[in-house]
Amino acid sequence: MAILEASKIYKSYGNKFNKQEVLKGIDLSVEKGEFVSIMGASGSGKTTLLNVLSSIDKVSLGSIKIEGKEFTGLKEKDLAEFRKHHLGFIFQEYNLLDTLTVKENVLLPLSIKQVSRKEADHKFREVATELGIYELKDKYPNEISGGQKQRTSAARAFIHEPSIIFADEPTGALDSKSASDLLNKLSELNRKMEATIIMVTHDPVAASYCGRVVFIKDGQIYTQLNKGEETRQAFFNDIMKTQGVLGGVQG
């Protein structure tokens, strides 16, 4: 079952005298439980695509449905309610609140939904243990490493079991060990919780953890790769080859 359906997505900036078309009629469908990566050169439109799919930005034209609900025309109040229940976010710069502990940061989405203290504690223990940050629960963001901050950010995205988790360059600020730790955890949660994850990355290593990679060029889908039964190393090699071709294609 498709959890996300985007049809004929266009996004432009500017006015009629100086218009820049960033997305040019993209169609994309994502199944429940998929771990999908969006890749493309700088300026290809991949971040804009993530932003419109995740309701951070509005489309100029087109339809986007999550769990069958069209959200592109919702008013801001209704959109905020929709995000609260359906969407989780992991950003490159963590976006943690310095005045809150790790546990308080992770529990924010549940406090907005007014979940009981007992249920919140249970969910926190479950997700924080899975992401290896349970022992850090009383520490503040300035007392933990970058990798631990990003796993805290991931726990916050997963805690309310949203329909889709959007990750924008989640390994961009991490060293290779912290990045592979995070990606392994995301893969495990993707499997165990059947969590649907859509991740923008420029890193072929990060993309090789996904089940499918969508390549964007000049605001359109250029090609897609499916991992299938391949090993991660073989999939990584395929991604590298496609990136090489993509880099060499004149557009």
To 5 degrees, how large is the angle CA 92–CA 52–CA 108? Answer: 50
Model pLDDT for residues 77-114, shown as the tens digit of each residue? 999 889 888 999 998 888 899 999 999 999 999 987 77
pTM: 0.92
- Is the per-residue pLDDT at 194 higher than 70? yes
Mean per-residue pLDDT for 186-208? 93
Task: Judge contact between 183 and 136, C-beta under 8 A.
Answer: no
Radius of gyration in angstroms for the set of CA atoms belonging to the chain, rounded to a whole number = 18
Q: What 3-state class would DSSP assign to 37?
A: strand
To 5 degrees, how large is the angle CA 229–CA 235–CA 236? Answer: 155
Higher pLDDT, 113 or 181: 181
Model pLDDT for residues 13-33, shown as the tens digit of each residue? 988 788 889 999 999 999 999
- CA diameter of the chain: 57
Domain boundaries, the chain: 32-59+74-247
Task: Judge contact between 153 and 93, C-beta under 8 A.
Answer: no
Q: What 3-state class would DSSP assign to 140?
A: coil
Distances (CA, A) of 193 to 24, 49, 107, 153, 185: 34, 25, 18, 17, 12
What CATH number belongs to 32-59+74-247? 3.40.50.300
